[in-house]
Structure 1
């Protein structure tokens, strides 16, 4: 079998990190988060050097890049106790509340608890660009409060 190079124009191709870019969002995608048409790209982590508004800029840039690659939805999660200010600053909105996860440990696959189990989460979605006629796939999961907790 002959191996072919990865087609970077494919929506499932992972983004490459520019050598000169210090802050960068990490994404895992496509994710199997609820969608009726195509799977969304999920931002799993962002990191910055602490510059003001860096994470808001990263979320916005990640969404623009994902749209350029053909994605129609982008999601991320915050844990209970996180403000979500960077996401709100980038125009993202809460679309669902997720209950605490019981953990990843099973008898057949032992896992250590790293402190992030048993924590409620909020599911956020990137904004649709209505000026460009962008219609995001609806979330079919049961919705919680449409506004983040105060």
Structure 2
């Protein structure tokens, strides 16, 4: 289970591997989010495992927890760097949590059985639109 858990978070981390030199552009944050959404779509079993949906009794090892933390740190680095230079670590972390809640929510909803009948639903575009709105709103508040 640990190997699959680590592999799942490595997939997420690699998918968000957008080169950010200094301040991230909105396009770079959205590209990172699209990578996350694609992992959720293409690797549903991994995704369910890393978020505790497939085996509630599984407890990740320290190595697995490190892989999880590295993936979240990547999100903080990318999403947080969209904010103004003077933004605090706390503000950057909050931005990452907000973005994560959005993309994770959309991935989880897309996995829900009730939505499988609606083939025209473009949940990736919906998620990216909400992330973009969040980025714009947060950047205005912080700057």
Using the size of structure 2 for normalisation, the TM-score is 0.31
Give the strand-richer structure, 1 or 2: 1
Q: Larger relative contact order (C-alpha < 8 A, sep ≥ 6)?
A: 2
